[in-house]
Amino acid sequence: MAKKVLVLGEVRDGVLRNVSFEAIAAAKQIADGGEIVGALIGNNVSQLASSLVEYGADRVVVVEHPNLASYTSDGFSQAFMAINEEVKPEAIVFGHTSLGKDLSPKLASKLQSGLISDVTVIEGNGDDALFVRPIYSGKAFEKVKTKEGIVFVTIRPNNIAPLERNTSRTGDVVSISVDIQNLRTIIKEVVRKAATGVDLSEAKVVVAGGRGVKSAEGFEPLRELANLLGGAVGASRGACDADYCDYSLQIGQTGKVVTPDLYIAAGISGAIQHLAGMSNSKVIVAINKDPEANIFKVADYGIVGDLFEVVPLLIEEFKAL
Ligand code: FAD
């Protein structure tokens, strides 16, 4: 049966995150010919509605309010519940991002629905859709199906390809007025660290360093390689704990989950908690001087050697291309 699906368009720094378009593609499969409605929440975000339509939304419902300028779970849940009331969807799709992970359980509980989180693949369409998600830190995958109620899903970024953009698509954009009040948290100011280039969660190439990098300076060649490949730098928790880099770079079970086209792991042993955050990458290259290192078990290409020799050679080769 065709379903009406509501998709959250996630905005950061005034721009829609790619995962919003991937969520529309996921919604298309769940909708099985039904309507796809985009939800936009923030302050001054309505101009982004056309992009959601161009990527496949049939219409967009917007809630804008000065209290929504920064994300708070209180404010966004009030806004989303109002949109939900307006649209009355049979399914909801969010990105499995920091925002999606925070907001979706709260809304699922308000809506008394289940929640299928961190979906990497959807097999089939509509009522027959099977949602594939990693379990046990990525050691196994389970396939889940809903039996009743709202189908509420979060999708892992970089796994479901967005539909092709069609700039001639049109759709209604409706703004609804919601008085966002009684917030327990008000964001007064956002203090950012210096920009670090490409967003790690959405990067197509990640060059990650571990304890084998040995110092903060040791990360410099990795940074150079990442810049050369248009990618981002990541790290193991070992490297973060040793203070070689910031925890915002940590990849793994208790860090970020990344699925780039290319993941280069340098001086990382491949502990299960690290693999949980990167083993779904499309191509994995491991550089480690220990031929028995666990990381080689998940690597497509393994280089047994000293990263301080191998990484400069890679930089030289890529520069020569
Ligand atoms: P190590 O295990 O010390 O490995 C360093 C590697 O570098 C070795 O394989 C060594 O052979 C190699 N090496 C050394 N010198 C060189 C060189 N010159 N050239 C090439 N190779 C070299 N870890 C995460 O990464 N992410 C998480 O989210 C995470 N969450 C955790 C949650 C829990 C509850 C727990 C208990 C642990 C978690 N950990 C996590 C920690 C994890 O168990 C490992 O301790 C950590 O991943 C190890 O980091 P590492 O591979 O950099 O260091």
Asked whether 87 and 6 are in contact (CB, 8 A), the reply is yes
What's the DSSP call for residue 205?
A: E
> Binding site annotation covers 79?
no
Burial class (CB in 10 A: 0-12, 13-18, 19+), 146: middle
pTM: 0.83
Question: Is the pLDDT score of 15 beyond 90?
Answer: yes
> Binding site annotation covers 253?
yes
Question: Any idea which residue has 């973060």 for tokens?
Answer: 240
What's the DSSP call for residue 228?
A: H
- From the CA of 269, give the closest atom in ligand 1: 9
Task: Judge if the beta carbon of residue 307 lies within 6 A of ligand 1.
Answer: yes
3-state secondary structure 242-277: CCCCCHHHEECCCCECCCCCEEEEECCCCCHHHHHH
Measured by CA distance, the residue closest to atom 52 of ligand 1 is 210
Q: How far is the CA of 319 from the centre of ligand 1 (A)?
A: 29
% of the chain surpassing 90 pLDDT:
89
Largest CA distance in the chain: 61
Mean pLDDT of the chain: 95
In whole angstroms, what is the distance from residue 208 CA to residue 252 CA? 11
- From the CA of 295, give the closest atom in ligand 1: 9
In whole angstroms, what is the distance from residue 185 CA to residue 203 CA? 31
114-167 pLDDT tens trace = 999 999 999 999 999 999 999 987 889 999 999 889 999 999 998 999 999 999
191-250 pLDDT tens trace = 877 666 788 888 999 999 999 999 999 999 999 999 999 999 999 999 999 999 999 999
Q: How far is the CA of 238 from the centre of ligand 1 (A)?
A: 5
* DSSP letters spanning 27-40: HHHHHTTS-EEEEE
48-87 pLDDT tens trace = 999 999 999 999 999 999 999 999 999 999 999 999 999 9
> Binding site annotation covers 269?
yes
Task: Judge if the beta carbon of residue 234 lies within 6 A of ligand 1.
Answer: no
Looking at residues 93-119, what average pLDDT do you find? 97
Complex ipTM tops 0.95: yes
Residue 245 token pair: 């880099």
Strand pairing class (301-304; 283-288):
parallel
Give the per-residue pLDDT at 75: 97
Return the best residue to mutate from 214, 253, 258 for the ligand 1 pocket (most ligand atoms within 8 A of CB).
Answer: 253
Q: How far is the CA of 89 from the centre of ligand 1 (A)?
A: 44
